Structure 1
Amino acid sequence: MKKLLFVTDFYCEVKGRNYYEEDLYLTSKLMEDYNLITAHPKQAIAFIEDVDFVVLRNTGPVKNYQESYDDFVKAVQEKNIKTFNSFDGKADMKGKDYMLQLMNQDYPIIPTIDHFSEIEKLGTSQKYLVKLKDGADSIGIEIMSKNEILQKKISDKLIQPFLDFEYEVSFYYIDDEFQYALYAPDKNKRWALEVYHANNEDLVFAKSFIDWNNMTRGITRVDACRLKDGSLLLVELEDLNPYLSLDLLDEMMIEKFVKNLKIALKKI
């Protein structure tokens, strides 16, 4: 039986999400197929030589343990240890600059710039969101007017228009295969999610970002917002350790997800 290192932070507290419950459930299922070790991200590097591969799950924002994370990534790459997710994604695991790349490539995303001099690219808006490039879980987000951005001389942060959208919706993938979708009917309650029945147009939209990212293996969450004209725009492409909201799925959907996760892990 192969040895698996499951990296998580059972004590991480994030509003609206119970990381530890999700990972306790997943480890209980993976123990059926693997000799499993769990470790906090700050301690994971001590175990990598004793396992066959690593699964990185709900570890919380990397900026909370940046040095340990950087050392861990360097160590697994030097020792050629396989990880899930693989560290070759181009999106959130590398920071938020990918939004600028997607903007320049005309992908359907929330318009994004990183310097006030380009603000005309965002169209007309009364308010703007200013985000840290290494932010996560809404850390460091500010809502500002155009004048406030000018006065503070904002640069090297992401600037986006504050959009009046209908709702947010997330599409979940294992490798490049769609698994399920969830949405927040009340846009003021981001994590009060319900199952969303994605149509073909939705899946074409989401898959375009999976294809762009071209990550070797792992779980990806494509977060989008639905505008009042019915179109979708990308909000975030989470390709490091996306929260899965498994507790909101019915038993059949959960069983299918776990089955597909095990199939993906056996390919490593």
Structure 2
Amino acid sequence: MPSVLYVSDLAYPARGRRYCDEDIYLTSQLRKAFNLAVCHPEDAAHLMRGFDTVVVRNSGPVIGYQDAYEHFKKQANATGQRVYNPLTGKADMAGKQYLIDLTGLNYPVIPTIDTPDHLDRLPDAAEYVVKPKAGADSHGLEFVARDELANKSGLLIQPKIDFRYEVSFYFVDHEFQYALNAPDPAHRWELTSYTPTTADLEFAQRFIDWNDLGHGIQRVDACRTQDGGLLLVELEDLNPYLSLDRVPETTRERFVQAMTSSIRGSLT
């Protein structure tokens, strides 16, 4: 059987959910198809030799181990080590610059800039969201008034959106698997099943196609605006939490089958 080094921070203190439970479940299923070992993200670079692929899952925000992650990427690229997801992702895997780029390309994203000089590119808002380009899990996020933006260069700047709810679409390779939504904006991780419309799926698929990963797991996070449209909040292509405990057993089983086939496909 192919060998997999499964990367997870089992002790990561996620808010409102337990990453480790998801990885315990996934590894219990994947070991039926792969010889599998689990390691912490800071150990991946020196343990990955000899494994057919490295599967990066709930490894926590990279900002917590930036040097180790950069070393891991450098070693993987230098040795031709397969990594799942591939290290070619253009979205969160590469930082938040993609939100600025997609804004410039007129994609349906929350409008984003990184300098107050470009405020004319944003709609007027009562408040603005400011956060680091390398942030994750709301690290460093703050809400500020327009007249407080003058010294915020180098940070992401977005209008604070008055949205109805958030919804996430989960993909393996380019295939949609399931969707979940948070009906109450104040409780991001209290998720329920969501049946997407054709327009919803076309919205999400547009970002999956833009990223163009040959293999891998991606989560498209969006918010439903007051006028009924969707705007991209985040395209997570490094280590998206999957909330598998929130979906029916048949959906979990189907997801594992898709993930298993995807990993196998990435090895050929």
Same fold (TM over 0.5): yes
Instruction: Provide the rounded CA distance (Å) in 1 between the counterparts of 2:258 and 2:33.
Output: 13
Cα shift at 1:133: 0.1
Deviations 1:223-257 (A, max 9, x none): 00001111000000100000000000111111110
Counterpart in 1 of 2:72? 72
Match of 2:154 among 128, 153, 156: 156
Secondary structure, aligned partner of 1:86:
coil
What is the alpha-carbon root mean square deviation over aligned residues?
A: 0.8
Tell me if the contact between 1:165 and 1:228 (Cα under 8 Å) persists in the aligned partners: yes
Q: Percent identity?
A: 48
Counterpart in 2 of 1:37? 37
Deviations 1:93-139 (A, max 9, x none): 10000011100100000011111111122111110000100000000
Cα shift at 1:216: 2.2
Secondary structure, aligned partner of 1:26:
helix
Secondary structure, aligned partner of 1:173:
strand
Q: In the TM superposition, what are the counterparts of 1:128-143 in structure 2 within 5 Å?
A: 128-143=128-143
Counterpart in 2 of 1:100? 100
Matched residues, number: 266
Counterpart in 2 of 1:226? 224
Q: In the TM superposition, what are the counterparts of 1:177-196 in structure 2 within 5 Å?
A: 177-196=175-194
Counterpart in 2 of 1:206? 204
Tell me if the contact between 1:88 and 1:216 (Cα under 8 Å) persists in the aligned partners: no
Counterpart in 1 of 2:54? 54
Unaligned runs of 5+ in 2: none
Instruction: Provide the rounded CA distance (Å) in 2 between the counterparts of 1:175 and 1:67.
Output: 28
Aligned partner of 1:45: which letter? Answer: A
Q: TM-score, normalised by structure 2?
A: 0.98
Instruction: Provide the rounded CA distance (Å) in 2 between the counterparts of 1:173 and 1:67.
Output: 29
Instruction: Provide the rounded CA distance (Å) in 2 between the counterparts of 1:23 and 1:249.
Output: 15
Tell me if the contact between 1:171 and 1:181 (Cα under 8 Å) persists in the aligned partners: yes
The reply on whether 1:27 has 2:27 as its aligned counterpart is yes
Unaligned runs of 5+ in 1: none
